[in-house]
Structure 1
Amino acid sequence: MKRTYDARMASRPEAACYLRVSSIDGRQTVENQRADVARLAEARGFAPVFYEEQGSAKKKRPVLDRLMEDARTGRVRAVVVVALDRLDRDMRECINRIAKLDGYGCRVLSVRESWVEDAGQTRGLLVGIFGWMAEMERANLIARTKAGLARARREGKQLGRPRALLPVEVKKLRALIAGGMSQRKAAEVVGCKESTARLALKRGAA
């Protein structure tokens, strides 16, 4: 967790900017959220303090737990997220967390759901609806990911990192190339990608 903010804002109350990305898509990064949440915090008169969590689809979220404790003790006066589902993908847990923050007197600010600041009596209902929508979106993403992996397996595509060649395979690869066969063709005979063959030969020469 990083607690850094502009010295010019030292006199302002702190807002916990919670940055979290799912482990479903390894291409995501908290940097995609940082500027937006900081801008919102500053616009509401707070000094942004960043709480960063990576790959936290699991139940244990130590950084979020620390944030909730800081909100309870009054160390931070607001919690800022890019979307409410960053607090929790589970609708009930998300609602519970927001209710706790309300009880602590800690404001909840969301870049995407600006209505959370002043929705009045309908706020709880809207939080529930948007939480349910986030759950459905996540379920659909998981289903699409699993379907894509299953299709790739059926088509015989290799998933994950390329397998390392066994010493006997590297020996065969060298023999084929020494006999005049191209590296690409030799890789096909051994049953690997040309890039895997190239790496194996390079390692063997090192």
Structure 2
Amino acid sequence: MASRPEAACYLRVSSIDGRQTVENQRADVARLAEARGFAPVFYEEQGSAKKKRPVLDRLMEDARTGRVRAVVVVALDRLDRDMRECINRIAKLDGYGCRVLSVRESWVEDAGQTRGLLVGIFGWMAEMERANLIARTKAGLARARREGKQLGRPRALLPVEVKKLRALIAGGMSQRKAAEVVGCKESTARLALKRGAA
């Protein structure tokens, strides 16, 4: 019995901090590969959409050499969020004779003459989604700064600042007020005092 051709199931998440997982993509992508007669082979990657992606580079090489006969993704934006790059990548795969299958964009398989146009539109939509996400993040950070919110990790207090905190509190000042005098948040002061007591 002849073995089935392999499909590269490309699973990617942008975050590397554990908040996202490729497991949400795995079952749907494997199911689509199996339904089209391919044996799924998983290529998993974590990292930003703009950083180098060695796993995707290896996948493209495997497609070029004919090791895999299809590339399966949960959505085209997993391949690239930049419109031109997404179109170019799909065109390369087409040139290698490698099918492109998407769980969300089923039209990519058999859109006929309009396929190129639709790939361009969806690539543009992915690019706009990424640009909007960046804009919303920047707006949120700017608002937080305007409101005086501390961004990132709270700063660690120097031993001299902890000593001053203790003296102010021992003199009858509230912890909140003492934190203001030292120039930190109350939660930072509380943590520094707790660590000092340990």
| TM-score for the superposition, normalised by structure 2 | 0.86
Q: Which moved more, 1:70-79 or 1:175-184?
A: 175-184
Which segments of structure 1 move beyond 6 Å, counting only runs of 4 or more?
A: none
Offset at 1:180? 5.5
Deviation readout 1:144-170 (Å, 9 max, x if unpaired): 111111111111111111111111111
Using a 3 Å threshold, how does the CA distance of structure 1 residues 148 and 50 change in structure 2: closer, same or farther?
same
Using a 3 Å threshold, how does the CA distance of structure 1 residues 35 and 179 change in structure 2: closer, same or farther?
farther
Q: Which moved more, 1:53-62 or 1:182-191?
A: 182-191
Deviation readout 1:184-204 (Å, 9 max, x if unpaired): 554444333343233323433
1:28 aligns with 2:17: no
Give yes or no for contact 2:16–2:46 (8 Å, CA) kept in 1. no
Using a 3 Å threshold, how does the CA distance of structure 1 residues 143 and 136 change in structure 2: closer, same or farther?
same
Using a 3 Å threshold, how does the CA distance of structure 1 residues 179 and 12 change in structure 2: closer, same or farther?
farther
CA-based RMSD of the aligned residues comes to 2.7
Offset at 1:25? 9.6
Q: Which moved more, 1:20-29 or 1:103-112?
A: 20-29
Deviation readout 1:40-64 (Å, 9 max, x if unpaired): 2222222322222222322522111
Using a 3 Å threshold, how does the CA distance of structure 1 residues 172 and 120 change in structure 2: closer, same or farther?
same
Q: 5+ residue gaps in structure 2?
A: none
Helix, strand or coil at the partner of 2:71? strand
Whole-angstrom distance in 2 between the partners of 1:182 and 1:45: 70
Whole-angstrom distance in 2 between the partners of 1:167 and 1:86: 48
Amino-acid identity (%): 100
Aligned residues: 198
| TM-score for the superposition, normalised by structure 1 | 0.83
Q: Which moved more, 1:40-49 or 1:146-155?
A: 40-49
Q: 5+ residue gaps in structure 1?
A: 1-8
Offset at 1:128? 0.6
Equivalent residue for 1:67?
A: 59
Offset at 1:17? 1.5
Equivalent residue for 2:143?
A: 151
Equivalent residue for 1:76?
A: 68
Using a 3 Å threshold, how does the CA distance of structure 1 residues 37 and 115 change in structure 2: closer, same or farther?
same
Offset at 1:137? 1.5
Give yes or no for contact 1:77–1:105 (8 Å, CA) kept in 2. yes
Deviation readout 1:53-112 (Å, 9 max, x if unpaired): 222322522111001001111222211111111111111111111111112121111111
